[in-house]
Structure 1
């Protein structure tokens, strides 16, 4: 028990949200609210993605919005590789579900006390779906994880 607790002692936040029917529409944000009291520690922020074999792309495009307690916002467009050059899934897992821990923010300090709001949208499109009307298939869960940087 002690080993399990000591290995995860740097975890500040870790939560997943399921994607209904494994179909993620571009207008459907995955939202997380993280309460912050620590204004001095360095943190790494990760987006965790679980996908199954129905995911049809080799990469994943995301748009993220982080809103500070003061109302200020930071919006990023991110691209992550989901397969290697041979088409093999990246990530961990022995079943059809693969889990990817993707860097979002590295060595960040949350300088404001209060609730930080994170919104994650998918922006992955096929060449036939420029407007994003079709759902992104095969994403089963989206998560947010914050870890204190170990010194």
Structure 2
């Protein structure tokens, strides 16, 4: 009985410390990808932003597994601002080491990669923002993109305070 209580107390303390350490987080959501990520499928995140003074870091979070066949990942990320203006970026990220093992955090074949989107950025206007993320992977020598990208299980978007 005493052993079980120690285990429960330790588990509670560990979970409390994990949740309380994330003071920088402002927004953090994930969307599940159903088996494969179609090249026309946009994963969107909407959030309300009131602060136009503070600097923020923004990240695209990718959870992938050993079915991911490439060493890099190309994304098109667009941000619709409250004034109707959309800013679009095409981004490339390295997803595997030279030996082919997946990069990212994780103990199993599922890895999570926290990929930089914007660093020390300010929101120019208060209001609703929508970030949309689309895969744009292409195979070498082919013009059309990969129709169905395997190995991505979830796509996330995160905003953190810089200080």
Query: Equivalent residue for 1:85?
Result: 98
Total equivalences in the alignment: 149
1:15 correspondence with 2:29: yes
> Structure 2 stretches of 5 or more lacking a match?
1-12
Alignment of 1:24-103 (within 5 A): 24-103=37-116
| 1:100 to partner: Cα distance | 0.2
Structure 1: 5+ residue runs without aligned partners?
none
Aligned to 1:120: 133
Aligned equivalents of 2:104 and 2:117: distance in 1?
16
For 2:19 and 2:148, the matched residues in 1 are separated by 39
Partner of 2:6: none
- The structure whose residues are more often helix, as a share, is 2
- Distance in 1, matches of 2:119 and 2:103, equals 21
TM-score of the superposition, structure 1-length normalised?
0.92
Greater relative contact order, per chain length (Cα 8 Å cut-off, separation 6+): 1
Deviations 1:1-52 (A, max 9, x none): 664454211100000000012x001100000001101111110000000001
For the aligned residues, what is the CA RMSD?
1.5
Separation in structure 2 between the aligned mates of residue 73 and residue 130 of structure 1, nearest angstrom = 26
Moved over 4 A (4+): none
DSSP-derived class of the 2:112 partner: strand
- Aligned residues of 2:137 and 2:146 also touching (Cα < 8 A): no
Give me the TM-score of the superposition, normalised by structure 2. Answer: 0.86
